[in-house]
Each structure stands twice: as structure tokens, then as C-alpha cells.
Amino acid sequence: MTTAYLVLIALVGLERLAELVVSKRNLAWSRRRGGIEVGSGHYPFMVVLHTGLLLGCLLEVTVADRPFVPALGWPMLALVVASQALRWWCITTLGPRWNTKIVVIPGLPLVTGGPYRFFTHPNYVAVVIEGIALPLVHSAWITAAVFTVANAALLYTRITRENAALASASGTR
């Protein structure tokens, strides 16, 4: 494993910690305004899955001695960077309403600006892209495949619950 890949994984891990800090602050903001958390049963699985992505990248590259293949690695690195940009575009667009949990404030309209003007769940697009691209930067194809399959099941659950909560809170049911 190259030192550069170790640094990349560490940077993504630090980014996740930054997200948790923002999320905790935003959760307090939402609760002060009557925010309601729903669908929390899957949250521990999400934490394990995303932690497992980072650990899987490191383990697979180390144990299976996965090489850095420039023709694959560089485009995947570009996708990792693009996914981070999309993620933070989502976070800044939603402002204090963004959270790692499903928290809705009854009566607030849906956000339709920023990346949300193009599709309804852009943050999850970022997660899907990153989950494939981050391991493939260093040819960790097993981690990419396992994360992608597990994440698909998680996102089905999460998006279903989130859509129902948003519809209920905005009165569009």
C-alpha cells in the first residue's frame, strides 16, 4: 500500500468526523425547532458499514497486496474528489437542516436548490460514487463490491424512511 493511499483514507476518515460534528450541531438546531428523528434503527448499521468501507480499503490493499493501477486509480481518485464536492454541496445547501440521521422539522418546505434541483437524494449519489471509487483507487475490488451491495440495501431502507418522513412533515401525503 502506498503512503498516499493511507493518507487518502485518513483524510476521508477525518472528513467523516467533520460530518459528525456538523451533524451533532445541526441535530441540536433541529430539535430546538421541533425536529423529529425517524427511522433510527438502521443508523448503527450505517455507521458500521461506513467504518467498514475505510477499514476494508486498508485491509484489502494490505492483505491482498492490491496494486495502484494508474489507468484505474487516477479516474477513481477524481471520482472520490467529485463525490466529496457533491457531499459538501449538499451539506451547505441544506445548512442546519442537514444531518446524518433522518430528522425533519414539521412544516418546513423541501429544499429544492443546489444539487436538489437536479435530483432528490444527491448526498446518496455521492455515497454510492465514493463507495465504489475509494476502494478502486488502489484496486480493492472486493471492498468496492461488498460495500456497494450492502449499501444498496441500506439506502433502500433509508430512502424509503426519509421520503415518508419528509412527505409527512411537509404535509404532502
| 112-134 per-position pLDDT tens digit | 999 999 999 999 999 999 999 99
Radius of gyration of the chain (CA): 17
Pairing of strands 103-104, 36-37: antiparallel
Write the DSSP assignment of 103-163 as a string of letters: EE-TTPPPP-SGGGGT-S-HHHHHHHHHHHHHHHTTT-HHHHHHHHHHHHHHHHHHHHHHH
Q: What are 30's three cell numbers?
A: 433541529
Confidence of residue 173 (pLDDT cuts 50, 70, 90): very low
Position 87 scores a pLDDT of 97
CA-closest candidate to residue 27, choices 40, 36, 39: 36
Beta bridge partners of 104: 36
Neighbour count for residue 124 (Cβ, 10 Å): 18
pTM tops 0.85, yes or no? yes
Q: What are 134's three cell numbers?
A: 475509494
Position 118 scores a pLDDT of 95
The alpha carbon torsion through 103, 161, 84, 72 (nearest 10 deg) reads: 170
pLDDT of 12 higher than 50: yes
* Pair 169, 107: CB distance under 8 Å: yes
Summarize pLDDT for 67-93 with one digit per residue, the tens: 999 999 999 999 999 999 999 999 999
Query: Residue 107: what are its φ and ψ, rounded to 5°?
Result: 90, -15
**pLDDT, average across residues 10-27:** 97
DSSP state letter for 99: -
Provide CATH code, domain 3-170: 1.20.120.1630
